Amino acid sequence: MDINSTNIEDIVKQVLQELGQAPAKKEGCSGNCSHKSNGEIPKTSRVAMLTDLEKIELQEYPIPELGDDDILVKVEGCGVCGTDAHEYKRDPFGLIPVVLGHEGTGEIVKMGKNVKKDSAGKDLNLGDKVVSCMIFKDNPDITMFDLNKQNVGGADVYGLLPDDSTHLNGWFADYIVIRGGSTIFNVSDLDLESRILIEPCAVLIHAVERAKTTNILRFNSRVVVQGCGPIGLICIAVLRTMGIENIVAVDGEAKRLEFAKEMGATKTVNFKDHKGIEALAAAVEDAFGGKLADFAFQCTGSPAAHSNIYKFIRSGGGLCELGFFINGGDATINPHFDICAKEITTVGSWVYTLRDYATTFDFLKRAKGIGLPMNKLITHKYPLDKINDAYVTNLKMEGLKVTVINE
């Protein structure tokens, strides 16, 4: 090509054309395996099977025939949850062998003939991006707005099911079969990162809904958020999208507190800078300009943190405890000073309802709309064949949200 006799536009066009036509070569892929992505559905799918403690093997299984109510989803990505990490390390649920991954999302590549709408009544079509929530094995008639169902505790979710004959029932895989009777949501209007964050965000939507039942959390409330891991950071984001502006974040790590500010915390308090609970409570009071918090969210799994948080709350204030997903042991409080004398209203929060799940989609759009850096919560992306590294990173508590992203 003679650069002098061709105009730049033509060169660019030619380069783009060549790029477009270049055969997509993937390392370590013979071209006849399940992870090719040319639009065709392969015969088999890889799954990441936890076969022993701290041991995940990639196994390959046939993609089964779909029933009339089933959906085949090509997995795009899935977050590693704290629950997964516990199962990986200790198998507390006794699920081994199991395909984990419940914070997943992907694209519909095949549907049974009866599948028309998602759980919120939206149309479902090939190519739609979806997430799944719970599976009502025991009660398939339950509707998403059944207010008697407090949360999904006790319901099944994909990625925490015992291995079955299809094996494609967890999101750490190339493909997953969403069976009839499961909940599924069309979330094509959210980007991949947002879709992976839906499940952890739903936990906070639920916590804030629980907090609202106290009638203490209001537009101009002073709110303290203790713990700035993913849960605490998302808590701050949810509060900001509700118009709550006066938020003090408490944590022991300067880096996390920096991020808390980016997420919308007004002030931060590093508990390592203050010796003893009195000094720490004084620092929180200081951060609110000489007043204690109206409301507090406890987002750590530390019993000491639970004991401390009452000292940050004003008389007549409220507390939402949501940090203890697992039994972290007993916490000591003084019922007289901490609860009675101050008349603190306390709520606990655990996972979410289906209604919270649908609210979460709107939250994620609003968070983006007001410029909160939600996608920065995803600090690690591993390919499926490096999933063991993803778990090791999660267990080392490095970064925030660790994910597996399929090519």
Residues that bind Zn ion in the complex, under the rule CB under 5 A: 81, 83
Task: Provide, rounded to whole angstroms, the least separation between the CB of residue 293 and Zn ion.
Answer: 28
**Quick check: 61 and 177 in contact, CB under 8 A?**
no
Measured CA to CA, the distance from residue 362 to residue 43 in angstroms comes to 37
Compare residues 115 and 152 and give the one whose CB is closer to Zn ion: 152
Task: Provide, rounded to whole angstroms, the least separation between the CB of residue 153 and Zn ion.
Answer: 12
Compare residues 192 and 333 and give the one whose CB is closer to Zn ion: 192
Measured CA to CA, the distance from residue 89 to residue 85 in angstroms comes to 6
Measured CA to CA, the distance from residue 237 to residue 221 in angstroms comes to 15
Q: Which residues pair with 318 in a beta bridge?
A: 295, 345
Measured CA to CA, the distance from residue 177 to residue 169 in angstroms comes to 6
Peptide bond into 97 cis (omega under 30): yes
Task: Provide, rounded to whole angstroms, the least separation between the CB of residue 95 and Zn ion.
Answer: 14
Q: Going along 244-383, which residue ranges are E strands? A: 246-251, 267-270, 293-298, 313-321, 345-348, 378-382
Compare residues 200 and 318 and give the one whose CB is closer to Zn ion: 200
Report the residue number whose CB is nearest to Zn ion: 81
Which of helix, strand or coil describes residue 338? helix
∠ CA 270-276-279, rounded to 5° = 65
Task: Provide, rounded to whole angstroms, the least separation between the CB of residue 325 and Zn ion.
Answer: 8
Compare residues 312 and 363 and give the one whose CB is closer to Zn ion: 363
Query: Closest Cα partner for 250 from 234, 272, 217?
Result: 272
Residue 156 to residues 37, 135, 165: CA-CA distances in angstroms? 30, 5, 17
Local structure of residue 173 (DSSP, 8 states): B
Which of helix, strand or coil describes residue 107? strand
Residue 348 to residues 166, 180, 198, 296, 330: CA-CA distances in angstroms? 37, 32, 21, 12, 15
Task: Provide, rounded to whole angstroms, the least separation between the CB of residue 103 and Zn ion.
Answer: 6
Single-letter residue type at 237: A
**Quick check: 321 and 296 in contact, CB under 8 A?**
no
Task: Provide, rounded to whole angstroms, the least separation between the CB of residue 197 and Zn ion.
Answer: 11
Task: Provide, rounded to whole angstroms, the least separation between the CB of residue 157 and Zn ion.
Answer: 8
What is the distance in angstroms between the CA of the first residue and the CA of the last residue of the chain? Answer: 34
User: What is the number of other CB atoms lying within 10 angstroms of the CB of residue 117?
Assistant: 11
Compare residues 83 and 105 and give the one whose CB is closer to Zn ion: 83
Query: Closest Cα partner for 102 from 407, 403, 383, 406?
Result: 403
Measured CA to CA, the distance from residue 181 to residue 135 in angstroms comes to 7
Task: Provide, rounded to whole angstroms, the least separation between the CB of residue 102 and Zn ion.
Answer: 6
Task: Provide, rounded to whole angstroms, the least separation between the CB of residue 1 and Zn ion.
Answer: 54
Compare residues 47 and 351 and give the one whose CB is closer to Zn ion: 351
Compare residues 234 and 280 and give the one whose CB is closer to Zn ion: 234
Compare residues 313 and 402 and give the one whose CB is closer to Zn ion: 402
> What is the pairing mode between strands 378-382 and 401-405?
parallel
Compare residues 231 and 249 and give the one whose CB is closer to Zn ion: 231
Compare residues 102 and 314 and give the one whose CB is closer to Zn ion: 102
Task: Provide, rounded to whole angstroms, the least separation between the CB of residue 160 and Zn ion.
Answer: 9
